[in-house]
């Protein structure tokens, strides 16, 4: 039995989904959404807040402020409410409505920027707004998840050791790349582990994190419009890029089997399946990190009109063979075409061969 008095002290660390029956490939999905913040961001949020308290940066009367596309904002909203701080989340128009409402329900204020900067897009606009705010009022304390070492240290101390305990024979780890906190924490931990582990970063197409050209990105979470300061590419073995349409297809494939995950998780799963398809080694032990669950994406990823308006009519159609996920193992065959009975054949003959 677990009994808690503060919401940020609970996090389910040891839950994995075996995707073999869904994707046909052996990979274990580490589910990070089972806590009161609903995502992996609870761990770095807690780490950064408590470090700021220990250093004296956070004091009674301080107002936390952070730039977030959603999940970090929810985690900080929850922690701020629990600890008695006020919190302002600066986000942009891509943040899901349900996520904004959730932050406000927890007592946070949400400021939404809509005009992208010519150099750095909406993220740059968010950061510029925070810097101007902090310059005007010293009550505001910006944790800066993009540069704060607590971001990656949380995963070095918690996420990676948990994976190591469950999978002592781990060969490859797939980690989504946003601020790169999760990526850096896990990569640094396994760099000095007892056996080599291949670290594969999964990024979204249109992100500049690994030097790609900037492009449209509509799903919050992964990807960056500026180079992430935390990133050290020397500890990453490989980076793969996933189109957002493939992320959405992966989410819907998982939902068809009863697993409702968020857009970031769809990206990681799609990237992992593509990599495993190109490196066909049946004996590999592979783990992928699922940062979030899907309830906050009901109006976007799981809303057919939204998806088709942005990605075209074919995104939610039947999967092409050889796609990122491939054919689902055990899918039932399509229903047979019914053979018309004698009465139907007679009516068709009366209509000149046409169906009535």
Tell me the average pLDDT across 63-67: 96
| Lowest pLDDT segment from 33-42, 94-103, 334-343 | 334-343
Architecture of domain 7-35+149-311: 3-Layer(aba) Sandwich (3.40)
326: which residues sit within 8 A by CB, 6+ positions away?
A: 23, 24, 273, 277, 319
DSSP assignments along 224-290, one per residue = -SS--TT--GGG--EEEEE-HHHHHHHHHHHHHTT--B-HHHHHHHHHHHHHHHHS--TT--EEEEE
pLDDT tens, position by position, 238-249: 999 999 999 999
Ranges 19-23, 121-125, 138-142: which has the least confidence: 121-125
Q: What is the model's pLDDT at position 157?
A: 97
Domain 42-142 has CATH 3.40.50.1100: yes
What is the rounded average pLDDT of the residues 34-42?
96
Buried b (16+ CB within 10 A) or exposed e, 127-136: bebbeebeee
Question: Does residue 142 sit in helix, strand or coil?
Answer: strand
Give yes or no for a contact between 147 and 229, defined as CB atoms under 8 angstroms apart: yes
Tell me what pLDDT residue 318 has.
Answer: 61
Closest CA to 164 of 199, 136, 189, 201: 189
What is the pLDDT at residue 106?
97
Longest dimension (CA), the chain: 89
pTM for the structure as a whole = 0.86
Question: Which of the two residues, 300 and 353, has the higher pLDDT score?
Answer: 300
Q: Provide mean pLDDT across the span 76-91.
A: 96
Mean pLDDT of 120-131: 90
* pLDDT of amino acid 225: 83
Query: φ and ψ at 146, to 5 degrees?
Result: -75, -20
Q: Where in the chain is the domain with CATH 3.40.50.1100?
A: 7-35+149-311, 42-142
């Amino acid at each position: 039995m677990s009994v808690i008095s503060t919401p940020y002290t609970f996090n389910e660390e040891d839950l994995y989904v075996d995707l073999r029956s869904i994707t046909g490939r052996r990979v274990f999905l580490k589910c990070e959404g089972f806590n009161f913040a609903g995502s992996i961001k609870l761990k770095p949020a807690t780490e950064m807040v408590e470090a700021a308290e220990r250093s004296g940066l956070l004091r009674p009367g301080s107002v936390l402020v952070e730039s977030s596309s959603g999940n970090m904002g929810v985690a900080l909203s929850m922690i701020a409410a629990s600890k008695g701080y006020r919190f302002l989340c600066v986000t942009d128009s891509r943040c899901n409505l349900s996520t904004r409402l959730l932050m406000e329900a927890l007592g946070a204020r949400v400021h939404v920027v809509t005009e992208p900067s010519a150099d750095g897009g909406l993220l740059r606009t968010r950061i510029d707004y925070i810097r101007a705010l902090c310059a005007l009022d010293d009550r505001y304390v910006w944790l800066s998840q993009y540069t704060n070492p607590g971001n990656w240290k949380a995963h070095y101390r918690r996420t990676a050791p948990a994976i190591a305990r469950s999978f002592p024979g781990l060969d490859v780890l797939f980690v989504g790349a946003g601020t790169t906190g999760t990526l850096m924490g896990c990569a640094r931990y396994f760099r000095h582990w007892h056996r080599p582990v291949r670290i594969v970063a999964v990024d979204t197409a249109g992100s500049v994190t690994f030097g790609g050209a900037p492009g449209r990105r509509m799903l919050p979470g992964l990807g960056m419009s500026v180079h992430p300061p935390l990133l050290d590419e020397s500890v990453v073995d490989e980076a793969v890029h996933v189109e957002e349409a493939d992320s959405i297809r992966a989410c819907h494939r998982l939902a068809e089997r009863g697993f409702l995950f968020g857009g970031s998780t769809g990206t990681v799963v799609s990237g992992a399946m593509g990599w495993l398809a190109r490196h066909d080694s049946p004996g590999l032990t592979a783990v992928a990190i699922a940062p979030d669950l899907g309830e906050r994406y009901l109006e976007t990823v799981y809303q057919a009109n939204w998806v088709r308006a942005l990605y075209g009519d074919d995104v939610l159609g039947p999967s092409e063979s050889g796609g990122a996920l491939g054919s689902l193992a055990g899918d039932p065959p399509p229903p047979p075409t019914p053979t018309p009975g004698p009465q139907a054949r007679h009516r068709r003959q009366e209509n000149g061969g046409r169906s009535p």
